[in-house]
Amino acid sequence: MVVGVLRLTLYIHGAGSLKDKRQVVRKVTDRLRSRFNVSVAEVGENDIWQKAVIGIAAVANDRSFVNEVLDKCARDAGNIAEIVNREMEIETYSEMYGQEFPQKPEPGEPPEPAGGAAGQRPKPEGWLEEEDLE
């Protein structure tokens, strides 16, 4: 799984009020969502009329695809407002938490306990179980 995050700082020429700014930010966010199927939100500089910070996130299984989508998002946003700053970060996650996900049991097969072997669970250090309380 590849996750890409893009942060754009936009300068909005001619914005004389927050209403003008919101109109441009809405246009950018709606356009990016519909064209590129990404998550978009205004993430900073909410009260400054001519400046907006937009966060964009994309998830896929190919690093080059995520990079391409985020580049296209930046280009498209640059057609609406001037880009003052651009920061991009792409992370690859091959296994979450260093372990693979357990396989689903076959129909009719009892599920395996959390610890692996039947009836035995690893006891975390310092934790009590029911039989310890008796």
Is position 110 within any domain?
Answer: no
Is position 100 within any domain?
Answer: no
Cβ–Cβ under 8 Å, residues 52 and 21: yes
The closest of 78, 55, 75, 47 to 5, measured between CA atoms, is: 55
pLDDT value of position 59? 95
Is position 97 within any domain?
Answer: no
Is position 106 within any domain?
Answer: no
Q: Is the pLDDT of residue 16 over 90?
A: no
Is position 28 within any domain?
Answer: yes
Is position 40 within any domain?
Answer: yes
- Torsion angle of C-alpha atoms 29, 32, 37, 41, degrees rounded to 10: -30
pTM metric for this prediction: 0.67
The closest of 1, 3, 12, 2 to 54, measured between CA atoms, is: 12
Kindly give the residue spans of alpha helices, DSSP state H, lying in the chain.
18-36, 63-78, 130-133
- Domain range for 39: 2-92
* Domains contained in the chain, number: 1
pLDDT value of position 73? 94
Is position 14 within any domain?
Answer: yes
Per the structure block, which two tokens stand in for 111? 């599920």
pLDDT value of position 64? 93
Is position 129 within any domain?
Answer: no
Residue range 74-102, pLDDT digits in tens: 999 999 999 999 999 999 987 655 555 55
CATH of the domain at 46: 3.30.70.1120
